[in-house]
Structure 1
């Protein structure tokens, strides 16, 4: 961080110098009135000390520019108006006498309010400057594409601003391929901290939760087949999805095909018996009932079945054919109970993939797998950034 001290006659003078030397991303950390000069302690002049700072590693920030005469005039006018108002209030005969402590407190509060107003004004000017730049045809196409992909507008705006700033910095107009490439690079950097998770190797019990119809049972069968066939591990099934008899029958069918024991539980009290029956299993996959998990009550009911004294974890299963708002509501409720990992299904039944990005970034979920189709165990793969971005952005011909 670069920090600099300014001693000026008035705050607007410092604002101009800060914008010119540190750039539009600089912030004012502190201001105070000081006395300088004089002779033998007398005749000192009042000055304003302003401390400002800017992050030194902002590589994407545009080069600092000097405020326009219009911006300086607007800032000067705003400060003068505030000062005239404050002076008028202090000199008004209607104001009752106040002591020196109150005057000092009022002066400090006045300065704080001025700094806040100036900051807000400078941020507004910066946004207006960026907003005033018309989008190129290539960037407009990217924006429309991401809107169609149902990416949240706040992320779209941030992405567009980064690409615009890069284009302004290099003083060129990017081709469509360059715009798409920059979008891919920035999205990759945003997602990178959340990618790389899988189902923990230390967990003996893995719970799968999610709304009805998202494909939990089929997904469990795919993962179980991978563990038994490829990794030669001894797997067991537990299902509490007794609300749908078909779900129990479906998992029982997969269990028979894979030669995996299965236990059915109707309440938390049945879990002890089920775990005892599966004591020889290295890994236990538990299928839970699909409910209306937009209701936090139903989430808490399912959560009561997920308590275990053994190493365990919970995977939230969401279908990409669901509505983005509904998926967000489900993710919000489960995240309150510490569920961090998510598995997305029905990749082959949609062409809209922005919800994945929204859920990862807005709720800090860790993506584990992407599932598509009904083939066991083939139609499932670990989440990879490159594969996902190909789905999200497609090709520049789209």
Structure 2
């Protein structure tokens, strides 16, 4: 039999420590109050001394279960290391590791605070990367101890916690700005919004060059926007033509360059866009990512397009999704700050400059709303 003594503030703390160290089959043999600290008995604090015990075979069984789970994970990793593993598969393995870690932790302690369960559930709903979720919960434990979602200040606490995870930057834009990203994320519409914003609001001389000659509709759409905004637009079908057109617009304050959507799963297309960026040599490269994508997809997109060395990320279609976790995820996946967020189709209205404080407040509000609404249905 294993016997241990615990000096704690109260019985709740004792139970938590006993479950973690001795397991759920441990029994309490006795309790007594003791005094510790102070000077010559003055100022001493009262603590609770709890004696607990467990049969050695129960501790050994718990260790065997944990070792079995770890062995299963090692076997899975070994199997995957013998084959070519894609980014999405690696992400799944990471997720399995996290789930295993959570499983083992839950065996050690069934007393996870209710607030962390609620927060984890809400952040998962918003598709926040599982590693970030654990960092956020740990951060709250260290700095605040816990969080009361019924407290009116909880939203401000959450926004402060999210703030370090959200990377934003909005520099003064000049020169050549190239837009890249997968198909269907709204690159052309976003480009038109920024062209109008810079021309009308910032009074800059703006030009547009499109390299997206794969889709006739995209070129026609951009021509319509350019005509309405009275902004010059040119079309290039080859890298050589692109260089010539850019030289013709050398005196413009800004030239926005549209490119065809490229699949993050097509290495040939990735090489094409990289070669084009090397020829154009833009001052800024904006990676456009749709917020409707799942976290695993965004991780793969940012990894593949990192070969083009994007300077900034634009998040689009915020109005088409109920999960806002990519505010946090982007900084975890790529070392490029968020510069703009779009939330509708209107040109040039539905676009805003990214500000980490504002995004943090928006996210904290939605996370808190989810926690409160889910409680109503429990």
Same fold (TM over 0.5): yes
Matched, 1:145 2:119: no
Q: Specify whether residues 69 and 343 from structure 1 end up closer, same or farther in structure 2 by C-alpha distance, changes over 3 A only.
A: farther
Counterpart mapping for 1:229-240 below 5 A: 229-240=200-211
Task: Write out per-residue CA displacement over residues 75-108 of structure 1, whole angstroms, 9 at most, x where no aligned residue.
Answer: xxxxxxxxxxxxxxxxxxxxxxxxxxxxxxxxxx
RMSD of aligned alpha carbons: 2.8
After TM superposition, the structure 1 = structure 2 runs for residues 1-398 of structure 1, keeping only pairs within 5 Å, are 132=109, 134-166=111-143, 168=145, 174-177=148-151, 180-191=155-166, 194-195=167-168, 197-201=169-173, 203-307=174-278, 312-393=283-364, 394=366, 395-396=368-369, 397-398=372-373
Cα displacement string for residues 199-227 of structure 1 (whole angstroms, at most 9, x for unaligned residues): 543x4100000111111111111111111
CA contact (8 A) 2:178 2:258 kept: yes
CA deviation after TM superposition for structure 1 residue 129, in Å: 11
By how many angstroms is 1:138 displaced?
A: 2.7
Take 1:337 and 1:173, find their aligned partners in 2: how far apart are those partners? 41
**Preserved CA contact (<8 Å) 1:139 1:160:** yes
1:234 to partner: Cα distance? 1.1
The corresponding residue for 1:35 is none
Note if contact 2:178-2:286 (Cα within 8 Å) is conserved in structure 1.
yes
Note the C-alpha offset of 1:345.
Answer: 0.7
Shift of 1:243: 0.8
Relative distance call for 1:69 and 1:292 in structure 2 (3 A) is farther
Q: Deviations over 1:49-74 (max 9, x none)?
A: xxxxxxxxxxxxxxxxxxx999xxx9
The normalised TM-score by structure 1 is: 0.62
- Find the residue that maps to 1:336 and give its secondary structure: helix
User: Is the Cα contact below 8 Å between 1:268 and 1:304 reproduced in 2?
Assistant: no
CA shift in 2, pair 1:378/1:181, >3 Å? same
Could you tell me how far apart the structure 1 residues matched to 2:128 and 2:339 are? 20
- For residues 224-248 of structure 1, give each alpha carbon's deviation from its aligned partner in whole angstroms, at most 9, with x where no partner exists: 1111111211111110111100000
Per the alignment, in what secondary structure is the counterpart of residue 308 of structure 2?
coil
SS in 1 for 2:190: helix
Q: For the structure 1 residues 342 and 275, does the alpha-carbon distance in structure 2 shift closer, same or farther, using more than 3 Å as the test?
A: same
Asked whether the equivalents of residues 352 and 392 of structure 1 are also in contact (C-alpha less than 8 Å), the reply is: no
Is the contact between residue 239 and residue 264 of structure 1 (CA under 8 Å) also seen in structure 2? yes
Structure 2 length-normalised TM:
0.65
CA contact (8 A) 2:318 2:343 kept: yes
CA distance in 1, matches of 2:126, 2:272: 33
Using CA pairs under 8 Å that are at least 6 residues apart, name the structure with larger relative contact order, 1 or 2: 2
Aligned counterparts of 2:320 and 2:117: Cα–Cα separation in 1: 27
Which blocks of at least 5 consecutive residues in structure 1 are unaligned? 1-67, 75-123
Q: Secondary structure at the match of 1:300?
A: helix
Rg comparison, structure with higher value: 1
Which piece of structure 1 moves more, 155-164 or 176-185? 176-185
Alpha-carbon distance change, 167 to 283 in structure 1, aligned in 2, over 3 angstroms: closer
Residues matched between the structures, number? 270
For residue 311 of structure 1, report the CA deviation from its aligned partner.
5.9
Shift of 1:289: 0.3
Cα deviation digits, residues 324-372 of structure 1 (max 9, x gap): 2222111101223322310011111111111331122232221000011
